[in-house]
Amino acid sequence: MPHKVSLSRLKLTDFRNYAALSLELDARHVVLVGPNGAGKTNLMEAVSFLSPGRGLRRAVYDDVIRAGSGGGFAIFAAVDGMEGEVEIGTGTESRDESQTRRLRINGTPARSADELTDHLRVLWLTPAMDGLFTGPSSDRRRFLDRLVLSLDPYHGRRAADFEKAMRSRNRLLSEPRPDRVWLDGLERQMAELGIAMAVAREELVGLLRGLVETAAGDETFPLAHLALSGFLDGGLRRPAAELEELYAGLLRDGRHRDAAAGRTLDGPHRSDLVVRHRQKDMEAERCSTGEQKALLVGLVLAHAGLVANLTDHAPVLLLDEVAAHLDEGRRAALFDRVSDLGGQAFMTGTDRAMFSALGDRAQLFAVDNARVTPTEFGDGT
């Protein structure tokens, strides 16, 4: 059984619609119920800032600060984490007319947000992800990279460095006579970073594929068959040095084509995550809306299990409105699966009755206009 990671305290200052909030939590799941617009998702977004990146909404920091506050926002959490009890503080401060994120771990400034993954891994599922299978490939790449990042904290930095090098190459190719030595250097950098990204994605997909095989007898949620397409399809099972030479050659040979197109046409930025409904042998985008939701839930739960197995610590799960479109039996099965992972989950909904199957496995809070009040399942809404 993986070790449990959980939040015991959460404090917000000038975050979204919260001027100030202080919650005392135990290791149980946290259920937030209340009307739409009350602040349930905002509270979960604050927890998502305990991981690298810009949270579950990928928000611009200026948009996160409470309107009229005149300063930055602050988040504090006490966590029973992967390296024991830890206090994490993060937020923004004004610098050169912009907001800069700051992070402290046990009162000491962190070198980078990557240090957060030493203490907890935070995964989420939100209604905004419901169109994942029918939306653009960029959404699926972002989703896939988030899955990789939860296991490989440096993946995000490699992806950012690749994008920066690619933009520099695109600008250079737009010049009448680009410097070939500079191009060679940029393409070498892109090859090293791009192959590392592609291999990390392929490894994750392979691990998830293995979990699907072992869960073939579980019919609670449909099983997903996963594959990658769009970049060196099926050709990544070679030494990294050989793959880097291959990709560098593709970039070199494609300079005139890329210059005409105004963008780089080969690389991991063109990859796509291909998902099929295993039982029906059908592309996910052709499945019904309910089947797509169930596929996505199953995929997120499988990934959470993978994180727990590989790190020996269960991730913190953020499940926004996850029970809204599930029948009673599947909701109960979902709660059992979440509890079996061994971690703490935050869940939201408008109707507390949807979470009654959790029983005493969860703390229940009523949320109304940024007021968060402990309550019980039997209380009226």
Output Rg (C-alpha) for the chain, integer angstroms: 22
What's the number of domains the chain is made of?
1
270-305 tens-digit pLDDT: 999 999 998 899 999 999 988 898 899 989 999 999
Percent of the chain with pLDDT strictly greater than 70: 96
Q: What is the pLDDT of residue 95?
A: 67
Is the predicted pLDDT of residue 16 greater than 90, yes or no? Answer: yes
CB-based contact 199:240 (threshold 8 Å)? yes
Q: Helix (H, G, I), strand (E, B), or coil: what is residue 379?
A: coil
In a domain, 270, yes or no: no
In a domain, 340, yes or no: yes
37-49 tens-digit pLDDT: 999 999 999 999 9
In a domain, 285, yes or no: no
Here the tokens at position 368 are 């109304």
In a domain, 264, yes or no: no
Is the predicted pLDDT of residue 379 greater than 70, yes or no? Answer: no
- The angle at the Cα of 152, spanning 334 to 98, to the nearest 5 degrees, equals 95
In a domain, 363, yes or no: yes
d(C-alpha 377, C-alpha 356), whole Å: 6
131-187 tens-digit pLDDT: 999 999 999 999 999 999 999 989 999 999 999 999 999 999 999 999 999 999 999
User: Mean pLDDT for the chain?
Assistant: 92
Q: What is the pLDDT of residue 221?
A: 84
In a domain, 364, yes or no: yes
Tell me, yes or no, if the pTM score tops 0.85. yes
Q: Helix (H, G, I), strand (E, B), or coil: what is residue 78?
A: strand
Q: What is the pLDDT of residue 218?
A: 64
Q: Where in the sequence is the domain holding 83, given as residue range(s)?
A: 1-133+305-381
In a domain, 170, yes or no: no
Is the predicted pLDDT of residue 107 greater than 60, yes or no? Answer: yes
- In this structure, what CATH number is given to the domain that contains residue 341? 3.40.50.300
In a domain, 10, yes or no: yes
252-274 tens-digit pLDDT: 999 999 999 999 999 999 999 99
Axis-axis angle for helices 328-340, 289-311 (nearest 10): 10
